[in-house]
Structure 1
Amino acid sequence: MRSWHGKLFFFAGFVCVLMLTSWHTSKSDNLPSQLHLVYERLLRAEQRGEVLSHELLKVLGQLQNRSISPLNLTISNSSALLEERVLRRLLPSQPNAHIYLPHLKEHEDSLKPIVHLGKRRTGVSLVLGVPTVHRQKQSYLVNTLQSLLYDLSTAERKDIVIVVFVAETNATFVKAVVQSVQTNLPDAVSSGVVEVISPSPHYYPDLSNLKETFGDPKERVRWRTKQNLDYSFLMLYAQSKGTYYVQLEDDIVAKQGFFESMKTYIEQVLSEEWLFMEFSQLGFIGKLFRTSDLPMIVEFFLMFHKDKPIDWLLDHILWVKVCNPEKDLKHCNNEKAQLKRTYKPSLFQHVGLHSSLTGKIQNLKDKDFGNQVLFKGHYNPPAELSSSLEKYQSHTLERAYNGEDFFWGLTPKRGDYILITFTTPQAVKGYFFRSGNIETNGDRFYNTTVEVLPNNNSVKEKVTRGELACCKPSSDGFVQIGSFKNGVAEGEVDGALGEIAAMRLLVHSDSDVWVLLSEIFIKV
């Protein structure tokens, strides 16, 4: 309480100083110098904010990551309490939210996120923010997350966190989203790559009496105002988790290799002055910020959250920073262009047809995105190919094996297989099979094993007797050496198996989706 009064007295004193400064200015007609003084004060304040953000990252980076059980909304250990105290102490931007959202004062936890899934990972390079809301027609969230995770390497998965923000207070809907993410992406959740949060039920103000502006009907004004609040909440949560923050949406696909492309580009322009980077040309998708800039950006969004859409507000930040009212529009646009960097081709494409705004159809496409790579070819040893799966159109197994296309088969059933019989036995060193692709990521192999047929009968007998620890017997003399996990099967082939006459993918249970094989690599 004493600290609060101190802040109040400081604020009152600051206002008095400004009033005296204004009076003195009117008397002395020294407006340019006074404006310069105010600018210097603001600059010093911004620098102090950056120092605080760096201190926060340092402290949180030392805290041990903790597991959070699904739907368990409380954390009992002392380190969690320490982290909360640190957050309260080092985030000066959050109390300012009470100025623009005075209803938050009624509940102490109004700005506290509810963490449903994740490990509260910090210290990463990239934080991806994915807000999601209830859609009447179709949800794209799981496909979006699968696209983002599709080809991340092991090292990249350790240097990124994807924060799903369920921007609703309906507990039933929030629970459904949490369960969907947990069910479809269990490994990403357990490893800490994906987190799911939602706001306090007291976060949103009354949005029923908003002023209609710019010719927008009341429902659209409500939608865009809530979006401003959603993005602001997500940014506040993300600012302590990494170095850069990327704003995404829940109905996009990512280009393969987006992580490496972004990091490489950031390194190229790191020494330059910029406020944000654009990795997509559509709206707010793919905007990248330094997390140290987020407190200032969020405060601006909250200050004008009822007035304009969020992409307009971002443009106004640029105007405030660099545009001279005494110069023309061309000069202003040139100055604003210096504070943003645009990467081409775009790394994110909008795919959703049904907007989160009820009744709105938005067939938006980024013309700079280009075409996706739907398969990856390799040189494989000569072989005869066969399968019990019915192919779709011209997407044959032969073309996939030769690196010319992907294989697309109708719904697999228990006992279905893909058989690769080598023309001559091969000393196979390893294998890599990827099912699904960036656009059809759900068409994967589930409950499917990778098996080999040793050319030497004595090896088969050793496996049957359990004398080789590398593998276990299957049927027809085949030996099971691996299985598909998250749509991918990869591994080495133990040299004790000798030369291999054939390889087989064997389905062990019925599937409810088609299957697409986008990469086949037999390493010899």
Structure 2
Amino acid sequence: MQLAQARRENLSERREGWGSPRAWLTVGISALSRQDPSSLVHTLVSLYNASSMAEQKRLTVLAHLADSDLTWLKDTTARISTLFSSEILTGQLLLIHAPPAAYPTVSGGHGAKASRGEGYSKNVDHAFLMSFATKLSDYFLLLGDAVFCAPNFVTHIYSKVTALKPSPWVLLEFSNVGLIGKLFHSRDLPVLAHFLLLFHQEKPLDRPILHFRTLLVQEKPILCRPFLFYHRLSRPTSDDKEDTVVPKKNPYGPSNPSASVFTNMNVSGAHFPWEGYTLDESFFWTDDIRPGNHSTVVLNHPARLSRVQVMTGSIVEGKHALSKRQVQLGYDPQGMPQDCGNFVLLGWLLAGQMDWEILQDSTADR
């Protein structure tokens, strides 16, 4: 970690030279080359689209490119440098890469170094990330490299931290998915980084982090609602208004058939149309809804539907629910973007929601 320490001190000197104030929040992301090599870029786009200019002035984004794939490193660095040149020049976006010497020897591996991307090396990836972030800001937010962010998440986090100031805490959770949306005091990062290095073979990564929380005498998790961060299931297509979704099947719950989602509503760039069709806590967010707007789900294959559920608005806060909107079941798809030749009215939204069971005879293979 000596290299990280030296670079961090040099960075602090340069930021002071530019006259930039100390950031209030550092968002830390450890990224690997996976099936979608652009997932980090999409996360950064969502992050900056979801934060105002005033919020960005108090925000530093630190991305650890934790992969040994030189092609991915080169391409990712070049693309981020092109898209976010102003953020990089002002020190608001930092890219780091850990040297091979930062990875400890794997026990029982005949002296071999931990391979990047393996479960235990992720602990080292994040230890390096946290060590570098120690002096960048007052608070540190851990994200993943395939995440989208709720609008004005910085302000929401600031409000929650301010409200909790009289009470001590170690870890605040702004998501209930994995390690994304986990907030720490930056003063705790050196100890946490050292802790992850000591238990670098402990899997999965959230286990030592949660154990660290209990060691610092926060026995119960603090979940902060509404959740502000969600996993991105897939990247958007070249057409921002059409996405294909293949939801995971849950044998104990509803099962959405694979489908494409179309809309003529404004797409923010942070929350895409397909996210309103998934069965996790992701959502499609838009503004300025007008008569004639629609969100249309076109199944990839004919299916027999037994039940249709629609939920709009914030369930936790009870706000932004749609009213006087109808839900139609269409069949005989035609045209591009696809529409249906015939429709059947299923019902109207009541308090922003609808739950309708469908007779099998009326939806056979539609």
User: Would the TM-score normalized by the shorter structure come out above 0.5?
Assistant: yes
Distance change in 2, residues 1:230/1:362 (3 Å)? farther
Q: Distance in 1 between matches of 2:69 and 2:36?
A: 18
Distance change in 2, residues 1:370/1:250 (3 Å)? closer
**1:100-142 deviation line (CA, Å, top 9, x unaligned):** xxxxxxxxxxxxxxxxxxx897610110011111114543111
Distance change in 2, residues 1:231/1:308 (3 Å)? same
Matched, 1:186 2:69: no
Contact in 2 for aligned 1:352/1:363 (Cα 8 Å): no
Equivalent of residue 336 in structure 1, options 196, 213, 219: 219
Distance change in 2, residues 1:133/1:362 (3 Å)? farther
Residue 166 of structure 1 is matched in structure 2 by: 65
Q: What is the aligned residue count?
A: 251
CA drift of 1:186 comes to 2.7
Contact in 2 for aligned 1:166/1:196 (Cα 8 Å): yes
Contact in 1 for aligned 2:147/2:230 (Cα 8 Å): yes
Aligned residue identity for 1:65: R
CA drift of 1:156 comes to 1.1
CA drift of 1:321 comes to 3.9
Equivalent of residue 371 in structure 1, options 283, 297, 303: 283
CA drift of 1:351 comes to 1.1
Equivalent of residue 119 in structure 2, options 224, 240, 251: 224
**1:372-431 deviation line (CA, Å, top 9, x unaligned):** 422x22xxxxxxxxxxxxxxxxxxxxxx6x587599xxxxxxxxxxxxxxxxxxxxxxxx
Q: Distance in 1 between matches of 2:141 and 2:151?
A: 16
Distance change in 2, residues 1:60/1:250 (3 Å)? same
Residue 13 of structure 2 is matched in structure 1 by: 63
Equivalent of residue 205 in structure 1, options 84, 104, 108: 104
Contact in 1 for aligned 2:29/2:145 (Cα 8 Å): yes
Equivalent of residue 148 in structure 2, options 232, 253, 268: 253
- SS state at 1:312 partner: helix
Contact in 2 for aligned 1:124/1:158 (Cα 8 Å): yes
Q: Distance in 1 between matches of 2:101 and 2:46?
A: 33
Q: Distance in 2 between matches of 1:184 and 1:403?
A: 35
Q: Distance in 2 between matches of 1:261 and 1:122?
A: 21
The unaligned stretches of length 5 or more in structure 1 are 1-56, 67-78, 80-118, 212-218, 323-334, 355-360, 378-399, 408-513, 515-524
Distance change in 2, residues 1:183/1:372 (3 Å)? same
Distance change in 2, residues 1:225/1:261 (3 Å)? same
Distance change in 2, residues 1:318/1:155 (3 Å)? closer
Matched, 1:272 2:158: no
Aligned residue identity for 2:89: S
Distance change in 2, residues 1:145/1:62 (3 Å)? closer
- SS state at 1:65 partner: helix
The unaligned stretches of length 5 or more in structure 2 are 1-7, 236-245, 250-274, 296-336, 338-366
Distance change in 2, residues 1:404/1:277 (3 Å)? farther
**1:461-476 equivalence runs, <5 A:** none
**1:78-477 equivalence runs, <5 A:** 123-207=22-106, 209=108, 223-322=118-217, 336-337=219-220, 340-352=221-233, 369=281, 371-374=283-286, 376-377=287-288, 402=290, 405=293
CA drift of 1:312 comes to 0.8
CA drift of 1:304 comes to 1.0
CA drift of 1:309 comes to 2.1
Contact in 2 for aligned 1:130/1:165 (Cα 8 Å): yes
Distance change in 2, residues 1:251/1:362 (3 Å)? farther
- SS state at 1:336 partner: coil
Aligned residue identity for 1:349: Y
- Identity rate of aligned residues, in percent? 25
Q: Distance in 2 between matches of 1:202 and 1:61?
A: 21
Q: Distance in 2 between matches of 1:120 and 1:231?
A: 29
Q: Of Structure 1 and Structure 2, which has the larger fraction of its residues in helix?
A: 1
Task: Compute the TM-score of the two structures, normalised by the length of structure 1.
Answer: 0.42
Aligned residue identity for 2:49: Y
Aligned residue identity for 1:260: T
- SS state at 2:219 partner: helix
CA drift of 1:297 comes to 1.2
Contact in 2 for aligned 1:207/1:222 (Cα 8 Å): no
Q: Distance in 1 between matches of 2:35 and 2:141?
A: 26
CA drift of 1:173 comes to 2.8
Q: Distance in 1 between matches of 2:97 and 2:21?
A: 18
Task: Compute the TM-score of the two structures, normalised by the length of structure 2.
Answer: 0.59
Q: Distance in 1 between matches of 2:23 and 2:229?
A: 21
**1:25-76 deviation line (CA, Å, top 9, x unaligned):** xxxxxxxxxxxxxxxxxxxxxxxxxxxxxxxx9x99983428xxxxxxxxxx
Q: Distance in 1 between matches of 2:117 and 2:31?
A: 16
Larger Rg: 1
Aligned residue identity for 2:119: R
